Amino acid sequence: MMLKKAAVIGIAGLALGVSPAAAGSLGDGSTVALTMVGGGGVLSLGCMAIALLTQDDEADDEGDRYDRRGFYAGLSASYARENFSDSDVVNLVDGELQDNLRNLRGTPIQPSPPGDPGVYTFSLANIDSDTFGAAGRVGYRCHPYVSAELQFEALSNFDGTISENGTPSNDIPRNFDLELESLVFTTNVKGHLMTGRTQPFVLLGMGFMRMESKARDNTTGGGPPPVARAAQQSDREVNVAFRYGAGLDFYLTKNIVATAEGSYLMPTGKLSGLDYYQFGLGLQYRF
């Protein structure tokens, strides 16, 4: 019986690593995928070992306990508040904007002349501080105080505006509407601080963030003829991300759990500096 349960736990834990790895490999490939497989595999083996080493065959009443071992799944509504670095937002889209303007103007955009560092550069005029989305999770509670899970989160757009600081003599300064859309997978280890009906918890996770950026030229003015606009720019970047946070689970019944959570997302690589706070309210089902 213990061996059968261990096999189920192991397969489920491995899925926590393989699922985001497969999704990550669709974005920008092997580095993210291998990182997720490794992290999910370690989490799988750790959870399986904990379950086996602490298994109590005499716990006949485990099905009525709030800290029982078992699978769970849940959905929640998310609110996110950005903590972006302005320069990192600009760096994320700078290359594509330069290419678009180079194609529009038909001439290479030269480096800024000495003493005039603002020419041919961009600055973030503004960005909305918050947005909303949805999150889901599946996991396994392998010990009264420990769970392992896969968390998925999709956010609607952070909207903003980027302005060009300088232009060639034959054009006018360009302004772009900006949209940033986030998709995140993380494998989390979750520590339950209490085992009763009310259960505060802390969590630590690693996974990947895919950020899609869209920039649309909204430049006006300059007199007739109408201003020609650069093509819409769209780009996706995928990098490893880390999550840490805390929350509270409250058991409405032995199977239905209301949950509240706050966490902080920290992506790496080209997405470094595009951090944000995430807050969620939702329900989980304990099998």
Reported as a single tens digit per residue, the pLDDT across 101-157 is 888 877 655 555 555 444 568 889 889 889 999 999 999 998 899 999 999 999 989
> What are phi and psi for residue 88, nearest 5 degrees?
-75, -30
CB 92 within 8 A of CB 140: no
pLDDT (0 to 100) of residue 24: 45
Tokens for 163? 């302005």
149 pairs with which residues across the strands? 139, 188
A 10 A CB-CB count for 211 gives 24
pLDDT (0 to 100) of residue 160: 94
Pairwise pLDDT comparison (33 vs 177), residue with the higher score: 177
CB 23 within 8 A of CB 50: no
Q: Chain-wide mean pLDDT for the chain?
A: 81
Reported as a single tens digit per residue, the pLDDT across 38-51 is 555 566 666 766 66
pTM of the model: 0.80
Domains of the chain are 70-286 (2.40.160.20)
Which residues 6+ apart lie within 8 Å of 12 measured at CB? 44, 71, 140
